[in-house]
Amino acid sequence: MHAIYAFGLLILIAYLGSRFIRKGKRSFSPFTFLFQSGLIYVSLGLYLGQHGSNVLSLEILRSFRPLIALGLGWVGFVFGFQLEFRYLKRFPGIYTWLSLLLFVSVSLLVAVPLISILERWFGEPRFYLHGVAVALGILAGIHSPTLLNLVAPLVPKRGHYYYLARFLVSVGGFWALVGMMALTSFWHFPFFEQGEITMGFLLIAVSTVVPILLGYLFFKLTASRITQRDLLVYLLGMVFFVSGAAFYFNLMPLYVCMVLGIVYSNLTHRHERIYPILLASEKPLYIVLLILVGALWKIDFNLRIAALVLFLLVLRTAGHMLSTPLLGRLLKFPFRLPLTFGLSLMSAGGLGVAFAVSIFVAYPMDITNIFLSVALIVIIVGDVLSPPAIKASLYRLGSKE
């Protein structure tokens, strides 16, 4: 009965919350963004979890783990569906190179020094610590388009700086999820300890090829004329099936469903019908996922974690601010990229949360609980600081265009 009560409460909160998320007056206020982006529901999950009322107890959370996998799969599918090649080809190819090189440079800037820091501060096996360092580096390179979409009407002139930022925050998550799949594939096997890579590459191949085939099959099944309601049922059924299978076989639902979304988006021509369905169903599922993430979070805060959070925030900000103008010169960009442009890329949003919980759910250990604490604090603090950061970058740059 306790599980049924908890599930019913989640559904009720998701229904009510979906009516307010991403609504209201557009503003550069950090607290307004926390409400409109939905990140405030992580704190609600903390209250409902073991640190508060314990409605979502550890036993309940164990039974809800498949629900978490379904939420991660839906986030991955929605993100992948937006990566339509016909749309991305409108942007210059140099934008894609900047996106890739920016992700690599920021990730390396964070991960390399973290390896030695984690080895000194924590007594876990080295191959676990190396994996956590790489995961935090990948997290530093994640961008979310949510904030930019919310404040877009407030940017005075949406010129080339705005559209470049829009491209980077939309595509940057792709490199991060590919990096996540590579990390977890080699983490399944003793790569960090023994250098074994064959099984890791096999896992990457399976996680990529299978959703491509399923995406093509799904396209064929929905090729005939069907109603809007039937299309929603098919979408939910396919995503839930793929994410559930990925979870059962210890793959990453976030990555597998992203590939499924990319394949289906580039095969179908029904985007004008599918996007309203995704927007309507995304909000309640997203809220449920954020609440469960908050309930899963075993808050562990001490001086070492505070130092890691500060270190990650500083390096992530410095990496974006310094890398963009340097890469702009290297790639011979047609317009100058100032230091302040990197401030428009600070929000990790829901994709960052989904990445962090994916790592924790796949490897539930003490060191990954520390990773989850550091990651969630960095994401929340970064998103609180992002609205004034965008105001200091795109708002001012737009005024000068």
User: 196: which 2 tokens?
Assistant: 């074994």
- Residue 172 placed within a domain: yes
Across the chain, mean pLDDT equals 80
- Between CA 69 and CA 343 the distance in angstroms is 32
- Residue 4 placed within a domain: no
- Between CA 182 and CA 208 the distance in angstroms is 11
Task: Name 195's Cβ contacts closer than 8 Å, sequence gap at least 6.
Answer: none
What CATH number did the domain enclosing 62 receive?
Answer: 1.20.1530
pLDDT for 346: 84
- Residue 10 placed within a domain: no
Mean pLDDT of 229-235: 78
Instruction: Please check the confidence at residue 164 and state whether its pLDDT lies above 90.
Output: no
Q: Taken in order 79, 82, 84, 87, is the CA torsion positive or negative? A: negative
List Cα–Cα distances, 334 to 164, 315, 320, 381, in angstroms.
Answer: 12, 27, 19, 33
Number of domains within the chain: 1
- Residue 87 placed within a domain: yes
- Residue 28 placed within a domain: no
Q: What is the dihedral of CA 183, 283, 47, 369, to 10 degrees?
A: 0
Instruction: Please check the confidence at residue 28 and state whether its pLDDT lies above 60.
Output: no
List Cα–Cα distances, 61 to 15, 278, 297, in angstroms.
Answer: 20, 26, 11
Find out whether 384 and 26 touch, Cβ atoms under 8 Å. Answer: no
Mean pLDDT of 247-254: 86
Instruction: Please check the confidence at residue 103 and state whether its pLDDT lies above 90.
Output: yes
- Residue 217 placed within a domain: yes
pLDDT for 2: 63
- Residue 72 placed within a domain: yes
- Lowest average pLDDT, out of 142-146, 152-156, 291-295, goes to 152-156
- Lowest average pLDDT, out of 161-175, 278-292, 323-337, 376-390, goes to 278-292
Instruction: Please check the confidence at residue 232 and state whether its pLDDT lies above 90.
Output: no
Mean pLDDT of 302-323: 89
Its domain, for residue 352, covers 37-400
| pLDDT, greater one: 36 or 276 | 276
As separate numbers, helices (DSSP H) first and strands (DSSP E) second, the chain gives 19, 0
- Between CA 27 and CA 31 the distance in angstroms is 9
Rg (CA), the chain: 20
Nearest CA among 253, 165, 265, 257 for reference residue 211 = 257
Q: How confident is the model at residue 69 (pLDDT cuts 50, 70, 90)?
A: confident
Q: How confident is the model at residue 7 (pLDDT cuts 50, 70, 90)?
A: low
Q: How confident is the model at residue 267 (pLDDT cuts 50, 70, 90)?
A: confident
pLDDT for 192: 46
- Residue 11 placed within a domain: no
pLDDT in tens, 338-366: 888 888 888 887 888 899 999 988 888 88
